[in-house]
Amino acid sequence: MLDIIFNRARDRQTAKIPLNKIRYGKFQPRFAINDQELEELVESIREVGVLQPIVVRPGDDCYELIAGERRVRASIKAGLKDINAVICHLSDREAAEVALIENIQRRNLHFLEEAEGFQNLIEHFHLTQSEVAQKMGLSQSTIANKLRLLKLASPVREKIYKLRLTERHARALLELSDTDSQLEALKYAEQTNFTVRDWEELIRQECSPENGKNISREIKKRRKQKIKPVVKDLRLFINSLEKGVRVLQDAGLDVQLLHKQHDDGLRIIIDVGEQRSQGRQTV
């Protein structure tokens, strides 16, 4: 698809252009860049340079970036003054398509960013889901499933991105009918280790509105269920700690073992003071 658009573009050429003449394109689908990945790219550019040219189109006394935002940002941080670019005369629609396709092919986009990009093509250029699928080289069902994720409210999407949840996690949230329930589920996800299957079971089978369950109440119940077997195993662990502390106390150390049960777990503190002085016998 990219080759078709490039071949159709007028006056295409490759040239080295100043980085300070580049403006970020209005059709860029990316809205977040991982800091660690960006730093790794900066180091790579410092060592071997930019291996693949960016794509731009000419504007008023500048170039509008179509594809290659990470390379541009990393090049600036690496101290470069210019960068190799493919300069194409593209229409708005072609620019949006190239930006989205290039990022998808390079696997640069979060699945929510992909959904935003697909929605942008539909709204701005009046394309159908079928047409978007054909242009992207994807199935129509893939496009439809991505677009459904945009039904999630912005705070929910931001939390999904922050927690680095998968697309399956996000799709499961759609079964909850309101934003508050979705945020409550995400709060549980933030505090608990779980598999995707466990997550889907929690939401679909036990916490869906159809079953008349309250997700907040259900989550609290699950927390208690998870704590009980852990506490049972910890009793043996605490007994072992207490024996160890008594040995240290008999050796002359001022040691105390403190433990307190909370709703979300067990807090254990071993407090070690100064060594006790004369008169203490060891066994």
For the stretch 12-58, pLDDT in tens is: 789 999 999 999 888 777 656 778 888 999 999 999 899 889 999 99
Q: Distance between CA atoms of 106 and 42, rounded to whole angstroms? A: 17
b/e sequence 41-53, b meaning 16+ C-beta within 10 Å: bbeebeeeebeeb
Instruction: Give the pLDDT band of residue 222 (cuts 50, 70, 90).
Output: low
| Max mean pLDDT range (4-18, 77-91, 181-195, 266-280) | 77-91
Bridge partners of residue 256, in order along the sequence: 271
| Active site residues per annotation | 69
Architecture of domain 2-108: Alpha-Beta Complex (3.90)
Q: Tell me: pLDDT of 184 over 80.
A: yes
For 67-79, the pLDDT digits (tens) are 888 899 999 999 9
Domain ranges of the chain: 2-108, 110-151, 154-213, 235-275
Q: Tell me: pLDDT of 5 over 70.
A: no
Question: Pick from 120, 164, 125, 162: which is nearest to 143 by CA?
Answer: 120
Q: Distance between CA atoms of 146 and 149, rounded to whole angstroms? A: 6
Q: Tell me: pLDDT of 279 over 50.
A: no
- How much is the average pLDDT of 220-246? 63
pTM across the whole model? 0.62
Are 94 and 9 within 8 A, CB to CB? yes
Q: Distance between CA atoms of 181 and 185, rounded to whole angstroms? A: 6
Residue with tokens 């949006």: 96
- How much is the average pLDDT of 96-110? 80
Q: Distance between CA atoms of 156 and 203, rounded to whole angstroms? A: 15
Instruction: Give the pLDDT band of residue 105 (cuts 50, 70, 90).
Output: confident
